[in-house]
């Protein structure tokens, strides 16, 4: 039975930003509606903008569901304007909090993460007493490369304990992502074939149909590789490939995920050139809408070499996955919005069908569809009706929206609830963060040296031709986006 969280205060740094208004507050309102928040929960917003309690509440009303529960939570929401790089705002915050349990949510640009944690610790706001809690929730991107991620971890963990840190990845709040663990370890038939003897390869895709839009200043210093691979895609990789845990205890699961990420084979300089593809979208149409070329986007350097697409081939050096390639891809301005994991199984022997009209036997595939339509598809072969034996592919489809009430969720509900309950299962530990960056660092180094071709691709397609060639050279092809 799910129980409400205990009375506490959530302090949101960056309370006037889009993340707070569009995702965090609606998620809190949904949890309130579900009866999963204490009626004594308080929210304190901190930002530089001038204002008072009512001005913050009005700015949040646009995105929060207008329910009685939101009206109750709204009245318990207050505003503390101030510069969160200075100590004065923390002294005022300390007076408001007293000895209350509190979670500090850093919905700010990443350059403020270390500063805020330092200021919180200096003010004594991270000290835990008498069974109470003080937690820090940190958004991505966590670091810019391996060195900066290590430095940020060291800085934060010198002021608070790992048990107090919740490095959040909103992908892990998706129902289908969490269901990977249940599907894998709750179904005997699936775990029996979850190894190199039966699996041919695994694809992990995170595609967006939109371009960069107004995020040019941020994106041009980040790029597709940094933005998505060491965090989102590495987390999906670890969940789909980790070894079975001996329990669903948070640290046990995080141990297995960290072990898997450490087992990803480190890319050599030659492989950084041959097994990593980068692209940049040109001008064109996506879903009937014209978008400018990336280099013509506002706040983007017209001579930039920042990639908007990346595809990788990785290997995992464990007995379970020896010889099984993992193909990862992510990009902007592609044919469809589509985040999925596709497990392709090895084909059955053709000999049985050699006297039939069957010329090709499609491989069985298991597809975890993460967004936009959460579900699971299992593809297998059946006989087409008629006098001849002809095998055709069909699918068993499961859609979350058809079975459960999952509409109007932001993906943060589970993560916020788990954080309030002290469950770190879906949050990244320091060693996981660093292991993810260690995988991509050789590629970043190669690109910094000017190695590798940056290929333009047409918006509304599946990406650069080099990405198709990357997987085709192994006799495979990408799963169609949006399929």
Which positions are catalytic? Answer: 232
- Predicted confidence band of residue 262 (pLDDT cuts 50, 70, 90): very high
Cα–Cα distances in Å, from 130 out to 94, 99, 101, 134, 347?
17, 10, 10, 12, 59
Average pLDDT on 71-99 reads: 93
**According to CATH, where is 3.40.50.720 located in the chain?**
9-139
- Contacts with 393 (C-beta within 8 Å, 6 or more apart), sequence order: 362, 379, 380, 381
CA 334 to chain centre: 18
* DSSP reduced 3-state for 90: helix
SS3 105: strand
Q: In the prediction, which pLDDT does 405 show? A: 66
Q: Which CATH architecture has domain 9-139?
A: 3-Layer(aba) Sandwich (3.40)
Q: What are phi and psi of 254, to 5 degrees?
A: -65, -35
Nearest to 195 by CA among 240, 231, 226: 240
Residue range 154-191, pLDDT digits in tens? 999 999 999 999 999 887 877 778 788 888 998 988 98
CA 475 to chain centre: 29
Annotated binding-site ranges for substrate: 170, 174, 208, 227, 332
How many whole angstroms separate alpha carbon 173 and alpha carbon 183? 16
pLDDT interval class at 6 (50, 70, 90)? confident
Specify the pLDDT at position 400.
80
Average pLDDT over residues 413-425: 92
Instruction: Label residue 360 by pLDDT band (50, 70, 90).
Output: low
Q: Annotated binding residues, as ranges?
A: 14-21, 83-84, 140, 170, 174, 208, 227, 332
pLDDT of 265-302, one tens digit each? 999 999 999 999 999 999 999 888 899 999 999 999 99
CB-based contact 442:267 (threshold 8 Å) = yes
Rounded to whole angstroms, what are the CA distances from 210 to 293, 299, 368, 399? 12, 17, 22, 24
Q: Determine contact, residues 138/167, Cβ cutoff 8 Å.
A: yes
Q: What percent of the chain has pLDDT over 70?
A: 96
Residue 483 has what pLDDT? Answer: 74
pTM above 0.85, yes or no: yes
- pLDDT tens track for 123-165: 999 999 888 999 999 998 899 999 999 999 999 999 999 999 9
Count of Cβ atoms closer than 10 Å to residue 63 Cβ: 16
Lowest mean pLDDT among 205-214, 364-373, 374-383, 457-466: 374-383
Domain with CATH 3.30.360.10 in the chain: 172-407+430-473
pLDDT tops 70 at residue 95: yes
Domain 172-407+430-473 falls under CATH 3.40.50.300: no
**Tokens 């943060």 -> residue:** 412
**What number of other Cβ atoms are within 10 A of residue 451's Cβ?**
13
């Amino acid at each position: 039975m799910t129980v409400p969280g205990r009375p506490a205060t959530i302090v949101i740094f960056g309370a006037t930003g889009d993340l707070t208004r569009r995702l965090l507050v609606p998620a809190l309102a949904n949890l309130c509606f579900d009866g999963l928040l204490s009626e004594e929960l308080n929210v304190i917003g901190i930002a530089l903008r001038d204002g008072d309690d009512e001005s913050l509440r009005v700015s949040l009303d646009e995105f929060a569901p207008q329910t009685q529960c939101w009206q109750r939570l709204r009245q318990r929401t207050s505003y503390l304007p101030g510069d969160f790089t200075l100590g004065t705002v923390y002294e005022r915050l300390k007076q408001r909090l007293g000895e209350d349990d509190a979670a500090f949510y850093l919905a700010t640009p990443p350059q403020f993460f270390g500063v805020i944690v330092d200021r919180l610790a200096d003010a004594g706001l991270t000290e835990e007493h008498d069974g109470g809690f003080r937690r820090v929730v940190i958004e991505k991107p966590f670091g810019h490369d391996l060195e900066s991620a290590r430095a940020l971890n060291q800085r934060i963990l010198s002021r608070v304990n790992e048990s107090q840190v919740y490095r959040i990845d909103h992908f892990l709040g998706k129902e289908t992502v969490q269901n990977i663990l249940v599907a894998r370890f709750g179904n005997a038939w699936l775990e029996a074939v979850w190894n190199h003897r039966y699996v041919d390869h695994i694809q992990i895709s995170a595609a967006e149909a939109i371009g960069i839009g107004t995020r040019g200043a941020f994106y041009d210093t980040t790029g597709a590789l940094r933005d998505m691979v060491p965090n989102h895609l590495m987390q999906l990789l670890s969940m789909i490939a980790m070894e079975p845990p001996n329990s669903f205890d948070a640290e046990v699961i995080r141990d297995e995920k960290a072990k898997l990420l450490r087992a990803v084979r480190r890319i050599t300089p030659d492989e950084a050139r041959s097994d990593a593809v980068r692209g940049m979208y040109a001008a064109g149409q996506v879903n009937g809408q014209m978008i400018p070329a990336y280099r013509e986007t506002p706040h983007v350097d017209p001579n930039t070499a920042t990639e908007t697409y990346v595809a990788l081939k990785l290997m995992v050096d464990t007995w379970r996955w020896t010889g099984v390639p993992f193909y990862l891809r992510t990009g902007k301005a592609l044919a469809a919005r589509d985040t999925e994991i596709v497990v392709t199984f090895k084909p059955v022997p053709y000999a049985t069908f050699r006297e039939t009209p069957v010329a090709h036997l499609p491989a069985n595939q298991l597809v975890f569809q993460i967004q936009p339509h959460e579900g699971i598809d299992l593809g297998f072969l059946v006989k087409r009706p008629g006098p001849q034996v002809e095998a055709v592919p069909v699918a068993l489809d499961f859609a979350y929206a058809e079975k459960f009430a999952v509409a109007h969720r932001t993906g943060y509900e589970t993560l916020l609830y788990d954080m309030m309950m002290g469950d770190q299962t879906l949050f990244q530990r320091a060693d996981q963060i660093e292991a993810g960056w260690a995988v991509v660092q050789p590629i970043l180094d190669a690109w910094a040296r000017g190695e590798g071709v940056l290929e333009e691709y047409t918006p509304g397609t599946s990406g650069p031709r080099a990405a198709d060639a990357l997987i085709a050279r192994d006799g495979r092809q990408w799963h169609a986006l949006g399929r």
